[in-house]
Amino acid sequence: MLYKMRSAAVYGIDANVVDVEVDVSGIKTNDERFTTVGLPDAAVRESRDRVKSALKNCGYDIPPCHITINLAPADIKKEGSGFDLPMALGILGAYGGLTIRSADDHVLVGELSLDGTIRPVRGVLPVAVATRANRIKNLIVPEANANEAAVVTGVTVYPVKSLMDVVHFLNSGNGLQPVKIDSLALLNRAQQFAVDFKDVRGQLTAKRALEVACAGGHNILMIGPPGSGKTMLAKRIPTILPPLTFEEALETTKIHSVAGILDAGTGLVGMRPYRSPHHTISDAGLIGGGAVPRPGEVSLAHNGVLFLDELPEFPRNVLEVMRQPLEDGTVCIARVAMSLTFPARFMLAAAMNPCPCGYSGDRTRECHCTPAMIQRYMSKISGPLLDRIDIHIDVPAVNYKELRGNAAPEGSEQIRDRVVRAREVQLNRFAQAKERIYSNAQMSSRQIRTYCDLSTDCERLLERAITQQGLSARAHDRILKVARTIADLEAAPHIEAKHIAEAIQYRTLDRTYWA
């Protein structure tokens, strides 16, 4: 007898609805077979043992038979353990254990334990999105994944703990209550931070540079001795970035769901991600990869911040793979069996010491590095990567008076208000011109000429700076982008000489270290 259930296969950060077709035929000998076809991976093929044990331990005596399960369409790779639940129910349906003739209006995902309990799986949010896109009304998921799936409106989500819960629900329509979540309220409650810029004493110049970077979406490099507060400043960058929109939160949550790192208690990533990988990370760990490609750190930082501490300590080949996502905002991972594209639009924040010992230029400690050592240390960062970082800022050690002063530093909330207003100015400007960009950092050369018109005084100041400091053509574009952001922070319609002057200050490290 043939019985059909519906499930979904995750492909990258999206999902496709899959028909689970189960055919059961009796046999006269003990040569029973359990065959799964339709491009299943090892985890799907192993499901036959979990399904048979779960059915047996739930009280169902399955006689010797030939069981053939087809996962259609057959040209899509199926991976993971989420097909256990629809497979088990398909077998029951084929034997008459389900009273309903068809379950076409249900999508089911879940991994079975040997005792019939249902374990959570990865990628439930993309499954919920695919269920809605295919106009399927009901989605049955493990209880631990219910909040994640309920974020998607237009789909009725039922949480289940065991195989028997699903059987009773499908047969009687009772026993399960759908999960409902107010996504916007959840998103608003998530905007709570454990850190604040009030905790940072001194470093006014660095704070200003971070404000400019966040206002325009610019990448930033902080250079300073150990203990000057670079990491402390970087951890507080998400507190001054604009809040996530619901669309951004949904896209970010899909990535974290596929990666299996989503908090089951919340079901939605409500704060901008902050990822800080160790410098021993591999290129596959940073960019993503694997036999079945998984998102890497650059994708997990999508719509958030990727912080690379001790930047020169990262292997050069690892840093070089970031050039494409920094430029395009996506990562394309090609394998023999598939080619996947993950989003990777993030703000890069990096920190490094000015020399191997860390105390070059420090007023209190002596540096023992030779010029050749310093040059070799700095040359670990390639020019093309450095050109993609708009702001370089010196972060000196904090003196005692600043550290013990009574003046209260400005908090993240006040800085964030200015950043949000500047972002709104940019969004309105680009929306009116129907440009498909969202911040000044994304402007192309053509857009720079359009939106960064300079007066005679500004032209003269910029020309003198480029001539005297030996800045490159790319540095010229970066200065104009940053100057446009500084003007937006002041709600100035045109770039003024003071804006150019401040932007130039954020490029002086080019001359100091890489000239």
Give DSSP secondary structure letters for 262-314.
--TTT-S--S--EE---TT--HHHHHEETTTTEE-HHHHTTTSEEEESSGGGS
Instruction: Give the torsion sign (CA, 102, 105, 109, 115).
Output: negative
Q: 17: Cβ–Cβ under 8 A, 6 or more apart, which residues? A: 6, 7, 8, 107, 130, 131, 134, 136
Distances (CA, A) of 102 to 21, 105, 111, 180: 12, 8, 22, 26
Please give the average per-residue pLDDT across 444-448, as a whole number.
Answer: 91
Question: Strand pairing partners for 25?
Answer: 66
User: How confident is the model at residue 213, as a pLDDT?
Assistant: 97
Only one residue has tokens 């002063």, namely 405
CA dist., res. 492 & res. 66, Å (int): 75
Q: Please report how many Cα atoms fall inside a 13 Å half-sphere around the Cα of residue 31, on the Cβ side.
A: 3
Residue 29's pLDDT band (cuts 50, 70, 90)? low
CATH topology of domain 2-181: Ribosomal Protein S5; domain 2 (3.30.230)
Distances (CA, A) of 107 to 15, 177, 262, 265, 348: 12, 16, 21, 22, 39
Enter the tokens of residue 450. Answer: 């359009």
Residue type, 361: G
DSSP characters for 210-252? HHHHHHHT--EEEE--TTSSHHHHHHTGGGTSPPPPHHHHHHH
User: How confident is the model at residue 514, as a pLDDT?
Assistant: 45
User: How confident is the model at residue 31, as a pLDDT?
Assistant: 61
DSSP 388: T
User: How confident is the model at residue 184, as a pLDDT?
Assistant: 80
Residue 338's pLDDT band (cuts 50, 70, 90)? confident
| Residue ranges of domains in the chain | 2-181
Q: Is there a contact between 22 and 4 (Cβ–Cβ < 8 Å)?
A: yes
Q: What share of the chain is helix, strand, coil (3-state, %, to 5)?
A: 45, 20, 40
Residue 128 pLDDT > 50 = yes
pTM over the 0.95 mark: no
The helix/strand/coil state of 15 is strand
User: How confident is the model at residue 30, as a pLDDT?
Assistant: 61
Q: Please report how many Cα atoms fall inside a 13 Å half-sphere around the Cα of residue 333, on the Cβ side.
A: 26
DSSP 321: T
- Tell me how far apart the terminal alpha carbons of the chain are, to the nearest angstrom: 76
Q: Which of residues 29 and 74 earns the better pLDDT score?
A: 74
Q: Which of residues 505 and 401 earns the better pLDDT score?
A: 505
User: How confident is the model at residue 387, as a pLDDT?
Assistant: 81
SS (H, E, C) 409-476: CCCHHHHHHHHHHHHHHHHHHHHHCCCCCCCHHHCCHHHHHHHCCCCHHHHHHHHHHHHHHCCCHHHH
Question: Strand pairing partners for 34?
Answer: 67
CA dist., res. 515 & res. 340, Å (int): 39
Please give the average per-residue pLDDT across 397-422, as a whole number.
Answer: 88
CA dist., res. 365 & res. 228, Å (int): 13
Q: Is there a contact between 3 and 94 (Cβ–Cβ < 8 Å)?
A: yes
For residue 42, count other CB atoms closer than 10 A to its CB. 8
Residues constituting the chain? 515
For residue 453, count other CB atoms closer than 10 A to its CB. 12
Residue 353 pLDDT > 70 = yes
Residue 515's pLDDT band (cuts 50, 70, 90)? very low
Q: Which of residues 166 and 511 earns the better pLDDT score?
A: 166
Kindly report, residue by residue over 59-101, the tens digit of the pLDDT. Answer: 998 877 889 999 999 888 898 899 999 999 999 999 888 988 8
Proportion of the chain above pLDDT 90, given as a percent = 62
Please give the average per-residue pLDDT across 143-158, as a whole number.
Answer: 93
Residue 164's pLDDT band (cuts 50, 70, 90)? very high
Mean pLDDT of the chain: 90
Residue type, 49: D
User: How confident is the model at residue 509, as a pLDDT?
Assistant: 63
Kindly report, residue by residue over 270-310, the tens digit of the pLDDT. Answer: 899 999 999 999 999 999 987 778 899 999 999 999 999 99
Distance of CA 93 to the CA centre of its chain: 40
Residue 513 pLDDT > 60 = no
Enter the tokens of residue 281. Answer: 């990370």
